[in-house]
């Protein structure tokens, strides 16, 4: 038995539990704004993730208990569920979650080994394969005359019959979708923004969701579960890129605050880009990672084929992590840098 003989109280389980806890404000606001459908999605994703995790651990000959209890599969499930439309059909949720856990996590070597953020891989696979189903968003209750009960939501998700009029009444385009469609129709940003879906900063209701994710993220930072580097750099990347474009042509490019207060940016900045496994590890590397992901988010939103770019931006930066880490190694005590003797 080697030294040290004492340990701090931290554990992977504790880290993951705090991440889940920090998502709760966001989930609460989600329910308040969009109805309880998200709870069904979260539950289904959780069960699927745990089943997938258990099956893969068994197949790989690993003990199930310590790895199921580390809660990392549930974090993946929740992050994916929160990225999906609230009324996504059950098979979409199951496919995405299984892809995240089985392919993106375990086929890459399991906990700690995945190059890409599993939840974002699941999301990317779904949006590439099922673009139609991925846009069935519930509108905020402020704007829709009716909302679905928990039971009704479950019925929709599991493919049961719900009167089409009810469903049409509750679903609508997301603000990002609306902006994109409007701009494609040659409207200016100001013209698009007159639609009721747009609120003070972001989308009506959506901006509250973004604020709730921000709050959860700040809790994680206060607890030192995450460092400030990635979220701040990510938000700066989004703000600076969007601000730069908006400054030059406010008619064609959305305002930086609007981009910043899309929930996907806050969720991405504080919960997804901060995934330690697939992110950069050095302080400078984290800044580059965040800035790069923020920049690409706006680039993809503006010129890409999808309304939102957070998932693809993070996946692309995941790809660059080994390179970023290699070239941002900090100076060690006594002045030496990587591979070099200290300067005199």
Partner 1 sequence: MSRELFRFKGGVHPPEHKSESSTHPIHAAPLPRKLVIPLRQHIGQAAKPVVNVGDRVLKGQMIGAADGYISAAVHASSSGVVTAIGLQPVPHISGLPDLCITLETDGRDEWIDHAPLDYRTMAPAELRMQLRDMGLTGLGGAVFPSAVKLDPGTAHHCPTLILNGGECEPWITCDDALMRHHADEILQGVAVMRHLLGSTEILVGIEDNKPEAIAAMQAAAQKVDFAVEVVAVPTIYPGGGAKQMIETLTGKQVPSGKLSTDIGIQVFNVGTAHALARAVHHGEPLISRLVTVTGHVLRRQNFGVLIGTPMHTLITLAGDRDGTTGVLMGGPMMGVPMPNLEVPVVKATNCILVQSNELFPPLPKALPCIRCTRCADVCPAELQPQELFRFAKAGDFGHAQEYHLFDCIECGGCSYVCPSHIPLVDFYRYAKSEIWAREKEKRAADLARERHEFRQFRLEREKKEKAEKLAAKAQAARAQAAQDQTRRAELAAAPAAEGAAPSDADAKKALIAAALARAQAKKAELAPKNTDQLSPDTRREIEEIEARRAKILEQARQPLDTQEKN
For residue 118, the minimal CB distance to partner 1 (Å) is 13
Give CA–CA dist 97/119, Å, rounded: 7
Select from 27-35, 140-148, 162-170, 273-281 the region that touches partner 1 (CB under 8 A): 273-281
Cα–Cα distance, 124 to 198 (Å, whole number) = 26
160 vs 335 by CB, closer to partner 1:
335
Paired residues of 171 in beta bridges: 138
Instruction: Please name the residue that has the structure tokens 């990317």.
Output: 124
Contact between 322 and partner 1 by CB under 8 A: the answer reads no
If one counts every other C-beta atom within 10 angstroms of the C-beta of residue 299, the result is: 15
- Map residues 153-192 to x or -, x wherever contact with partner 1 holds by CB under 8 A: ----------------------------------------
Burial tier of 89 (Cβ tally within 10 Å: 0-12, 13-18, 19+): middle
Q: According to CB under 8 A, which one of 146, 281, 305, 319 is a site residue for partner 1?
A: 281
Q: At what angle do helices 90-98 and 72-83 cross, to 10 degrees?
A: 140
From 304, 301, 311, 306, select the one nearest 254 (Cα to Cα).
301
In DSSP terms, 138 is beta-bridged to 171
Contact 27, 82 (CB under 8 A): yes
Query: What residues between 93 and 132 interact with partner 1 by CB under 8 A?
Result: 110-113
Q: Taking the complex as a whole, how short is the minimal distance between the CB of residue 334 and partner 1, in angstroms? A: 3
**Closer to partner 1 by Cβ: residue 251 or 283:** 283
Q: Identify which of residues 283 and 305 has a Cβ nearer to partner 1 in the complex.
A: 283
CB 140 within 8 A of CB 34: yes
- The DSSP H or E segment spanning 30 is helix 12-34
Pick the binder of partner 1 from 58, 200, 252, 331 (CB under 8 A): 331
- For partner 1, the binding residue among 1, 132, 145, 194 (CB under 8 A) is 1
CB atoms within 10 A of CB 3: 5
DSSP annotation of 198: B
Environment class of 213 (CB within 10 Å of its CB; exposed 0-12, middle 13-18, buried 19+) = buried
Residue (98 or 230) nearer to partner 1, CB: 230
76 or 152: CB nearest partner 1: 76
For the segment 215-244, give every residue that binds partner 1 (CB under 8 A).
Answer: 227
User: Least CB distance from residue 276 to partner 1, whole Å?
Assistant: 4
Total number of residues that touch partner 1 (CB under 8 A): 44
Which of the stretches 3-11, 91-99, 249-257, 297-305 binds partner 1 when contact is defined by CB under 8 A? 3-11
Does 195 help bind partner 1 (rule: CB under 8 A)? no
In the numeric block, which tokens belong to residue 99? 């892809």
Q: What's the token pair of residue 276?
A: 């330690």
Q: For residues 53-72, which are near partner 1 according to CB under 8 A?
A: 61-63, 66-67, 70, 72
Report d(CA 233, CA 282) in Å as an integer.
13
Please identify, using beta-carbon distances, which residue of 89 and 276 lies nearer to partner 1: 276
What does the binding site for partner 1 look like in residue numbers (CB under 8 A)?
1-8, 10-12, 14-15, 61-63, 66-67, 70, 72, 110-113, 227, 276-277, 279, 281-282, 325, 329-336, 338-339, 341-342, 344
């Amino acid at each position: 038995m080697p030294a040290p003989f004492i340990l701090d109280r931290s554990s992977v389980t504790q880290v993951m539990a705090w991440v889940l806890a920090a998502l709760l404000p966001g989930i609460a606001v989600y329910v308040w704004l969009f109805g309880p459908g998200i709870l069904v999605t979260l539950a289904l994703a959780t069960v699927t993730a745990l089943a997938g995790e258990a099956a893969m651990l068994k197949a790989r000959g690993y003990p199930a208990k310590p790895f199921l209890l580390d809660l990392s599969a549930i974090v993946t499930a929740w992050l994916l569920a929160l990225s999906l439309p609230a009324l996504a059909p059950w098979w979409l949720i199951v496919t995405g979650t299984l892809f995240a856990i089985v392919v993106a996590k375990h086929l890459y070597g399991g906990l700690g080994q995945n190059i890409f953020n599993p939840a974002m891989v699941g999301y990317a696979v779904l949006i590439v394969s099922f673009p139609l189903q991925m846009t069935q968003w519930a509108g905020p209750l402020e704007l829709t005359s009716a909302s679905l009960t928990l039971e009704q939501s479950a019925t929709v998700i599991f493919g049961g019959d719900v009167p089409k009029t009810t469903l049409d009444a509750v679903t609508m385009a997301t603000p990002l979708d609306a902006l994109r469609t409007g701009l494609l129709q040659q409207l200016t940003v100001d013209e698009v923004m007159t639609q009721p879906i747009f609120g003070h900063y972001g989308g009506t209701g959506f901006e509250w969701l973004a604020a709730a994710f921000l709050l959860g993220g700040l809790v994680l930072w206060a607890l030192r579960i995450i460092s400030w580097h990635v979220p701040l750099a990510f938000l700066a990347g989004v703000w600076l890129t969007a601000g730069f474009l908006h400054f030059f042509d406010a008619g064609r490019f959305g305002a930086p605050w609007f981009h910043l207060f899309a929930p996907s940016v806050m969720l991405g900045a504080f919960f997804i880009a901060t995934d330690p496994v697939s992110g950069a590890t050095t302080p400078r590397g984290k800044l580059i990672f965040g800035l790069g992901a923020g920049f690409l988010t706006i680039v993809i939103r503006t010129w890409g084929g999808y309304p939102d770019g957070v998932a693809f931006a993070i996946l692309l930066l995941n790809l660059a992590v080994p390179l970023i880490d290699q070239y941002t190694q900090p100076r060690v005590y006594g002045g030496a840098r990587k591979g070099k003797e200290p300067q005199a």
